[in-house]
Amino acid sequence: MEQELIIEAGRTERQYWKDLWRYRELIYFLSWRDILVRYKQTVIGILWAVLRPLLTMLAFTFVFGKIAKLPSEGEAPYAIMVFAAMLPWQFFATSLSESANSLVANANLVSKVYFPRILVPSATLVVNAVDFCISFVLLGGLMIWYGFMPSAQIFAILPLLLLTSVLALGPGLLLCALTVTYRDFRYVIPFIVQFGLYVSPVGFSSSVVPDQWQFLYSLNPMVGIIDGFRWAILGGSADFPTRAVAISCVAALLLLLLGIRYFRSTEQTFADVI
C-alpha cells in the first residue's frame, strides 16, 4: 500500500516530531553499528571499557587517597568512593564528546538521505549506556573485593542516570550543531571535558570543599549528579544532596531546551555545510 505524503504550510515543527517517532528504529541501528565498530581492530577489544575507568580510579585513589590523604565518605573504601563518581562522569564526558562529533562523523549519511538529524547524537547515549553497564559490573566486583554491601538506595541510580543523559544531550546537541559549521569546536570539546573533570568531585569528596564555597560549587550541575550517585552506591546515614540535585535538574532541563532550539534552527543547513 502506497503511503500518501501531504505537505501543509505551518506544520513543519509538528511533522518533525512525528518523523522522530517514525524513524525511532534508526536509533537502534545506529547504536548497534557503533557498538560493533567501537572496539573493532583493537587488541583487547571490549576490555577497554573496563580498563579506562579502572586505571583512572587507581590513579585518583593513589593521588588523592594515598598521597593527599583526603577523607572518604563515611566508612566506604576510597577506591569505591572514586569509582561511584567515575560511573556518571565517564558516561557524561563520553556522551558529550561523541554526540558533539556525531554528525561530522556521519557526514555521508547526513548529506544523502532525509531523517531527523537529532537521532544521530541521541544514539550515542545508547552506546555509552552499554559501557556504563560494563563499568557497573566492575563496581560490583570492587564491592565484593572490599566486602562492601550496598543498600536499597542503589536503585536511585536509574533516575540519576536519566538525569545524566539529559545533561549530556543538551550541550551535546548544541556543540553538535556548532561543530558542523565551525570545526574549531572539535578542539574545544576535549578542553571542556578536561576542565570539567578538574572542577567536579570525581577524585575527592564534596565534603572537602569549604562551607562558604559549597553553594557556588554546587552550581556545577555534575556535582549534584556525582553526589547523588555516591549517596545511592555508598548508602550510610548521609542525607540526599537535595539542593545540588535540584540545581542539576534545572540546569539539565534548560540546557536541553537550549540545545534542541539551536539544533532545530540550524538543522536545515547541515546537508549543505557538512
Under DSSP, the state recorded for 44 is S
Look at residue 47 in the predicted model and tell me its pLDDT.
77
The pLDDT tens digits of the residues spanning 68-99 come to 999 988 888 999 999 999 999 999 999 999 99
CA angle centred on 48, ends 117 and 71, rounded to 5° = 105
Under DSSP, the state recorded for 155 is G
- Asked if 90 contacts 53 with a C-beta cutoff of 8 angstroms, the reply is yes
CA gap 176, 181 in Å, rounded: 9
Look at residue 193 in the predicted model and tell me its pLDDT.
92
| Positions of E strands within the chain | none
The pLDDT tens digits of the residues spanning 132-175 come to 999 999 999 999 999 998 888 999 999 999 999 999 999 999 99
* Cell numbers representing residue 218 in the block: 554546587
173 Rama sector, left if φ>0, alpha if ψ -120 to 50, beta otherwise: alpha
Look at residue 60 in the predicted model and tell me its pLDDT.
93
Element (H, E) at 271: helix 270-273
Look at residue 159 in the predicted model and tell me its pLDDT.
96
CA gap 95, 255 in Å, rounded: 15
- pTM of structure: 0.90
| Residue stretches of the chain with pLDDT short of 50 | none
Look at residue 262 in the predicted model and tell me its pLDDT.
94
CA angle centred on 52, ends 46 and 58, rounded to 5° = 135
Closest CA relative to residue 200, chosen from 87, 109, 47, 78: 87
Q: Which residues have a Cβ under 8 Å from the Cβ of 174 and sit 6 or more positions away?
A: 255, 258, 259, 262, 263
Helix H, strand E, coil C: the string for 77-88 is CHHHHHHHHHHH
